[in-house]
Structure 1
Amino acid sequence: MDISTQTAVLDDGPVVIAVGELDLASTPAFTAALTEALVDERQTLTIDLSGVTFCDSTGLRALLTAPGHRPVRLRAPTTSVRRLLDLTDTTERFEILP
């Protein structure tokens, strides 16, 4: 399955909403969507992961290297994404939103 993305712009920066599987095949499109959404790298990027059903190491790398001001916000990561973040000890690299 591919990943689909939508972007919304809020007062504090863009929100990229991802739905599907974030893996080797879909990561290039996801990364392009993140880069396209962030016009001003001083803004904080929020990535809504509530619709992501799978994330492998390439998806994790895309999250870790996402453009913009740090920390990147992850909104509503699914159980599988949270587990990957916990197993790789990378949860603290993000601001996690409900």
Structure 2
Amino acid sequence: MRDPDSWEDPNEFKPERFLASFESGQEDALKYIPFGSGRRGCPGVNLSYIFGGTAVGMMVQCFDWKIKGEKVDMEEAIGGLNLTMAHPLKCIPVARTLNPLTL
């Protein structure tokens, strides 16, 4: 994945380099996506989804979240394969403390 003969700037994070392969219908690009695809796909993909969901659940359960700024700007960015926010949401985690009197 870091061969300079195969990739321009191989050490740079440039996910857009795969767009040309997907748009032209080449399935070779599927082997470079996370977890792979098809019969050579990662056997641990389901386990990673479970752990990811557990991590998000623990963050929701163990922290209160404050929004940086006064309100969320829902303006969309232009371009790309999916919708992204023009002004990314920034949240600050605040640890929840347990009151021993309520236990």
Question: 1 or 2, which has the higher helix percentage?
Answer: 2
Give the structure-1-normalised TM-score. 0.22
**TM-score when normalising by structure 2:** 0.21
Greater relative contact order (CA < 8 Å, ≥ 6 in sequence)? 1
Larger radius of gyration: 2
